[in-house]
Amino acid sequence: MNAVTLFNHSINLNIQQHSFSFPPAAHPKWPRASSSSIRRRNPSNGTRPSSSPLVVEVESKAVSDSEQTPPPSVARRLILLRHANSSWVDPSLKDHDRPLSERGQADAVKVSLKLQQLGWIPQLILSSNAVRTRETLTIMQQQVRGFLEAEVHYISSFYSIAAMDGQTAEHLQHIVCNYSRDDILTVMCMGHNRGWEEAASMFTGASIELKTCNAALLETTGKSWDELTSARGHTLRCSHYLPSPFPDDVSLPCVIYCHGNSGCRADANEAAVMLLPSNITVFTLDFSGSGLSEVCNFFFPAQRYDLKIVVSYLRSKKQISRIGLWGRSMGAVTWYIVLSFVGSSLG
């Protein structure tokens, strides 16, 4: 990944440019098929299908004739801008109601002119409704006509979501897709740390620091904003250890083994040896970029989405009664994060 960082100490301006991809959608509808390959696949007609583009394939299955080359994609740009510096002069004000400081007002002027100079003028602006964020946008609109001409929506959840660990990136995807249209090529989201900094880092796979009035400039390609949240033709290689013979008309518990950094699904052998005698099946996968799974262009937490896909797949299987997780190193961190999304009970 190539990145360009522009920093000017005199105005506290940090414009960081990166390529990025939104993570894939995590609500698949799986066909019933035995497989050791899970494939994310783009819809063939350029529109989002009613069922998920995620399918399970038998490894020997040829690519369907219906998978055609998608129409050309266009560059789509996302600006993640943190509000300008705020004032703490009046301690009686709620955090939501604090205005900009004099420094913040000056920085808002400068960042608007810098974005204009770089040619990053949004057609759609989605902003927190906090006073300091509104004032930042108002000053930018006064300085550069392009910001005034953009469509603006104030999103109250941007204020609260930024304080929740691991929630902002996914929330931003949802909001951007809800408010954008295919003809909108540049979107600016204005909000707060730590969420904005975390989302920028997750989208790019780089460590991004966003001080007040700093912007991360993210660029990727796609036919639509909605497409960027769906499949990108990525295959996960998986194995499912079952007792032999498998008991008829009986549902068995399953443990998903999550390998560590630099590991692969073969590491699950030790778990299978321990669990199979107790009629507990073991499902394991090569996380994105590990083992035989394909390397994806998503940010580091792609493993989180890999695991969510596997959980959804196993939940659809009648042979599986309950689901447990076994993680090593990176795998342990991954399943811990996923628990916040799929619930502590996976049964």
Domains in the chain, CATH or no CATH each: 4-21+73-228 (3.40.50.1240), 235-342 (3.40.50.1820)
Cβ-Cβ contacts under 8 Å for 247 (sequence gap 6 or more)? 279
The token pair at 340 is 């916040």
Residue 255, SS3 per DSSP:
strand
Per-position pLDDT tens, the chain of length 347: 223 333 222 233 445 555 555 544 433 332 222 333 444 333 333 333 233 322 233 232 233 334 444 445 788 899 999 999 999 999 999 999 999 999 999 999 999 999 999 999 999 999 999 999 999 999 999 999 999 999 999 999 999 998 887 788 888 988 998 899 888 999 999 999 989 998 888 777 678 899 999 999 988 877 777 655 544 456 778 888 888 777 778 899 999 998 887 788 889 998 999 999 898 999 988 887 777 776 654 433 567 677 777 887 888 788 889 998 888 876 666 656 555 544 444 44
Cβ-Cβ contacts under 8 Å for 98 (sequence gap 6 or more)? 86, 87, 88, 90, 130, 131, 132
* CA atoms within 13 Å, Cβ hemisphere of 212: 19
- Residue 210 burial by Cβ neighbours in a 10 Å radius (0-12, 13-18, 19+): buried
Task: Tell me what pLDDT residue 338 has.
Answer: 56
The token pair at 79 is 């600006």
310 contacts 341 by C-beta, under 8 angstroms: no
As a whole number of angstroms, the distance between CA 219 and CA 211 comes to 20
pLDDT tens-digit series, residues 299-342: 335 676 777 778 878 887 888 899 988 888 766 666 565 555 44
Q: Are strands 74-82 and 215-222 parallel, antiparallel or unpaired?
A: antiparallel
